[in-house]
Amino acid sequence: GDSVTQMEGPVTLSEEAFLTINCTYTATGYPSLFWYVQYPGEGLQLLLKATKADDKGSNKGFEATYRKETTSFHLEKGSVQVSDSAVYFCALSDGNSGYSTLTFGKGTMLLVSP
């Protein structure tokens, strides 16, 4: 079945540091890929997405590129802020069935200190 593997956290960074959170996936066909973010005490919200190979999703300074050859969708940000502290989830949607559902990774906690 489909699966998503993320690097384990927490990832601890100082403000303005460069961020990478690794995500790899296993899926049949050509999934769409997503990053969701969960701030403390809140539900998940969509951060960015990419629907085909070589697409780059971006939002709020975060970027991720859909790499079919390495089955990866790593999340990056050039300069993190304290307000970016949250849990980040990589997810895929295979879309091959009539009703596609999201498969989530286990999440990676990011802690940014001033």
Partner 1 sequence: DAGVIQSPRHEVTEMGQEVTLRCKPISGHDYLFWYRQTMMRGLELLIYFNNNVPIDDSGMPEDRFSAKMPNASFSTLKIQPSEPRDSAVYFCASSFRGTDTGELFFGEGSRLTVL
Site for partner 1, rule CB under 8 A: 32, 34, 36, 41-46, 49, 51, 89, 91, 93, 95, 99-102, 104-107
Nearer to partner 1, 19 or 105 (CB): 105
Write the DSSP symbol of residue 97: S
Length of the chain: 114
> Of 42 and 69, which has the nearer Cβ to partner 1?
42
Q: Which is nearer to partner 1, 17 or 67 (CB)?
A: 67
Strand 32-38 relative to strand 86-93, pairing: antiparallel
Q: If we measure between CA atoms, which residue out of 56, 57, 63 comes closest to residue 77?
A: 63
Least separation, in Å, of the C-beta of 29 and partner 1?
13
Minimum CB separation of residue 25 from partner 1 in Å reads: 14
Check whether the bond before 10 is cis (ω within 30° of 0): yes
Q: At its nearest, how many Å lie between partner 1 and the CB of residue 107?
A: 6
For 6, the token pair is 């993320």
